[in-house]
Amino acid sequence: MHYLWLSVLCALVVITRPLDSAATPFAPNWNNMHTKHRWNAIPGKWESIGQPPVGITIDLRIALKPHCEHALTDAIYEVSNPNHPKHVLFFVPPPTQVTLLRCRYGAYLSKEQVAKLVAPHPYTLEVVEAWLRHHGVSPSNVSTTHGGNWLTVTGVPVSKANELLGASYQLYRYAGTNETILRTVGYALPVALHTHVQTVAPTTYFGSPLTPRERPRGHRVSALSTRDDHVTPAVLRSLYNSVTYQPAATEQNMIGVTGFSGQYVSDEDLELFMALFRSDANDPTFLVIDVNDSGYDPSKPGSEANLDMQYTQGMAWPTPHVFYSMGGVAEEFIPDSFIPVNTNEPFLGWLEVMTRLEDLPQTISTSYGGDEQTFPRDYATSVCELFGQLGARGISVLFASGDEGVGGGDCRKNDGTGVVQFQPGFPATCPWVTSVGGTMRRPEVAAPFSSGGFSNVFKRPIYQTDAVLGFFEQLGKQHAGLYNASSRGFPDVSAQARRFTIIHDNEFMFLRGTSCSTPVVAGIISLLNDYQLSKNRPVLGFLNPWLYGTAIQGFNDITSGSNPGCGTDGFSAVPGWDPVTGLGTPDFQRLLDLLPNPIPTN
């Protein structure tokens, strides 16, 4: 089957070259600098430990604004919303050889098509390169990534980076772990670049991949107790109605699990787990992709990685699995390795690798995140757009919503005002991911730790307008001022998240958290993709337009429980969508009946 790509016309030319540029040599005032982003204080538990040693260099990544501002967003909706009116031609191969018109839903973009959509205007490249030349940066040190909308400038001495960005790079240490990074609390760009550059990294992003609060909490025992309220794959497959489904497209379908911060999967633990809890599953395996030398070592398993792999396998076996092991400290910054300095943000780094790959798993599960306010706005926006690129390519990206209810800690804003506000988590608030909250008990109620609420960065996406307004009607004035009513609400869906039984280091361990629910929902989605593939239909891709549309009927609405935090009772689970359990928990059989079928039959 082939799709004939109808090229997207750029309705709005955002960037125009100055009219007189041909006559007068192009010379903006590079010294007229304006702040791009600045924190009022050093974020959270980081402290400055001074200047980096002389001679240190840094690789700067510059996100350029795309030529057509809305092209990616429009394309995502056209291919992900089963009810979108846009149609494309498609060719039915021999013997029929006819060209038919079908809705564009499911006609996912290739890597190259996405690259074209997000490409910057040639003039944007010209301006940025002129600026780099002005500062004596050699063109041989500049390369493009992410299909052309990021520039990477390698080997920039820190003094030069300070000059380019009006910055003051210093070494910062994280109190909890002693992780050391090179960052600046603020940076600026020449005024002439502000309309062309989205963000520069690494600059003011202080988020740490090592924040311990996102680890699943649990305890170990050496023998399984007789209590029957523990969660196992059998419990989940029965509760979510997927027991009888036999995967039929394992030649094409694949599910991906990400592992950050030195979390590795033990093959032996997986084998024992499957023998105990999926006795029908023999020889469970997974492919490991070691992203930039993570030091992958299955003999030193992490409970998070074991949990994620054991539950996607438990739900979706025999669907092939891939584990992306992302190094947290991927680049050694200091030539003599005296101080372990990390220049990589794992999300950006991971996405950089993912967006470069031709073949990706159709479903990806990630149990990792942090407070949205610890991510600079521009950084979060750029990372979120890269998740959108995966969506446009037909990948379902699932993220844990977090384990802090409406907010952890003292919930104070980090902008210097100290105002108390609910604290949403990122990437869960990115509108291009599907965020998974938590439930507990049978019959199901909301788990009190299930993170949910509203972004302070991302506007409310169109697919959830009715759902969120329906919730506000029930909420009334409660918590007014503590959350942002105009923005993206999360989570989107939920699943069981407590008393999960795993095998870790050859022993039983019980875990809770949205780290548990995310691989479960990812497993269910992967089975639905399997069904679509087995019927020669496109996979589900970016899920949310379908979830909030026809698929609503396929979820068990959770209507009791709440997610306290920030000194409040939090939000309540109510009929319909709510920022505790989203649309509810999946019912596989009902969802099967609601799957879109965009391929015309003749």
Q: Which helix (H) or strand (E) holds 234?
A: helix 233-239
The label of the residue with tokens 């057509």 reads 68
- Residues whose CB is less than 8 angstroms from the CB of residue 600 and which lie 6 or more positions away in sequence, other chains included: 100, 101, 102
How many whole angstroms separate alpha carbon 364 and alpha carbon 346? 16
Q: Give me the least distance between CB of 377 and ligand NAG, in Å please.
A: 8
Shortest Å, Cβ 499 to ligand NAG? 30
Give 253 or 374: the residue with its C-beta nearer to ligand NAG: 374
Examine residue 486 and tell whether it contacts ligand NAG (CB under 6 A).
yes
557 annotated ligand-binding residue? yes
Q: Annotate each residue in 529-568 with x if it binds ligand NAG (CB under 6 A) or - if it does not, as one string.
A: ----------------------------------------
Tokens 């967006």 belong to 355
Q: Which is nearer to ligand NAG, 39 or 531 (CB)?
A: 39
**How far is it, in rounded angstroms, from Cα 275 to Cα 269?**
10
Cβ(363)–Cβ(396) under 8 Å? yes
- Indicate which single residue of 233, 349, 369, 570 sits in contact with ligand NAG (rule: CB under 6 A): 349
Nearest distance, CB of residue 470 and ligand NAG, angstroms: 18
CB of 593 to ligand NAG, least distance (A): 35
Which is the catalytic residue, given 80, 325, 515, 517? 515
Residues 388/432, Cβ–Cβ less than 8 Å: yes
- Cα Rg for the chain, rounded, in angstroms? 24
Catalytic residue among 308, 378, 530, 587: 308
Distance CA 473, CA 320 (A): 44
- Applying the rule CB under 6 A, the residues between 277 and 306 that interact with ligand NAG are 292
Residues 107 and 86: their CA atoms lie apart, in Å, by 11
Nearer to ligand NAG, 158 or 316 (CB): 158
Nearest CA to 561 out of 375, 399, 405, 420 is that of 405
- The residue ranges of DSSP E strands in 168-306, in sequence order, are 170-174, 180-183, 186-190, 197-201, 217-221, 255-259, 287-291
| CB closer to ligand NAG out of 85 and 139 | 139
Which segment (65-73, 380-388, 396-404, 484-492) binds ligand NAG by CB under 6 A?
A: 484-492
Asked if 263 is part of the footprint of ligand NAG (rule: CB under 6 A), the reply reads: no
* Residue 462: both structure tokens together: 């169109």
Any contact of residue 330 with ligand NAG (CB under 6 A)? Answer: yes
Q: Does position 378 bind ligand NAG by CB under 6 A?
A: no
The three-state secondary structure class of 361 is coil
Evaluate whether 183 touches 49 at the Cβ level (below 8 Å): no
User: Of the candidates 366, 554, 564, 567, which has an alpha carbon nearest to the alpha carbon of residue 446?
Assistant: 564
What one-character-per-residue DSSP string does 260-279 give?
Answer: -TT-B--HHHHHHHHHHH-T
Alpha-carbon span 529 to 591, nearest angstrom: 11
Q: What is the Cα–Cα distance from 75 to 528, expressed in whole angstroms?
A: 23
- Give, as ranges, the residues between 145 and 184 that touch ligand NAG (CB under 6 A): 154-156, 177-178
Q: 3-state class of 138 per DSSP?
A: coil
Closest CA to 315 of 375, 386, 370, 235: 235
576 annotated ligand binder: yes
Residue 228 is a catalytic residue: no
The least CB distance from residue 373 to ligand NAG, in Å, is 9
Taken as a whole, the chain contains a residue count of 602
**SS3 state of residue 337:** coil
Tokens of 238: 């029965």
Between 56 and 539, CB nearer to ligand NAG:
56
Q: Rule CB under 6 A: is residue 137 a binding residue for ligand NAG? A: yes
In this chain, which stretch among 90-98, 300-308, 347-355, 497-505 interacts with ligand NAG, using CB under 6 A? 347-355
Which residues 421-480 are close enough to bind ligand NAG by CB under 6 A?
Answer: 456, 458-459
List residues bridging with 288 in a β-sheet: 323
Question: Which is closer to ligand NAG, CB of 289 or CB of 330?
Answer: 330
Q: Which of residues 47-66 bind ligand NAG (CB under 6 A)?
A: 57
Q: What is the size of the binding site for ligand NAG (CB under 6 A)?
A: 22
Say whether 413 sits in a helix, a strand or coil.
coil
Q: By C-beta, is 32 or 138 nearer to ligand NAG? A: 138
Q: Of 304, 371, 403, 530, which is the active-site residue?
A: 304
Of 135-143, 313-321, 530-538, 588-596: span binding ligand NAG (CB under 6 A): 135-143
Question: Is 578 marked within a binding site?
Answer: yes
Tell me the residue nearest to ligand NAG as measured from the CB.
155
Distances from the Cα of 554 to the Cα of 129, 425, 551, 585, angstroms = 51, 26, 5, 9
Terminal C-alpha separation, the chain: 15
CB of 145 to ligand NAG, least distance (A): 8
Judged by CB under 6 A, the residue of 141, 144, 159, 560 near ligand NAG is 141
CB of 362 to ligand NAG, least distance (A): 23
- Asked if 515 is an active-site residue, the reply is yes
Q: Does 135 bind ligand NAG (CB under 6 A)?
A: no
356 binds ligand NAG (CB under 6 A): no
Binding residues for Ca(2+): 557-558, 576, 578
Q: Which residues are catalytic?
A: 304, 308, 515
- Binding residues for ligand NAG, rule: CB under 6 A, are 57, 137-138, 141, 154-156, 177-178, 292, 330-331, 344, 349, 352-353, 456, 458-459, 484, 486-487
Please enumerate, by residue number, every residue annotated as part of a binding site.
557-558, 576, 578
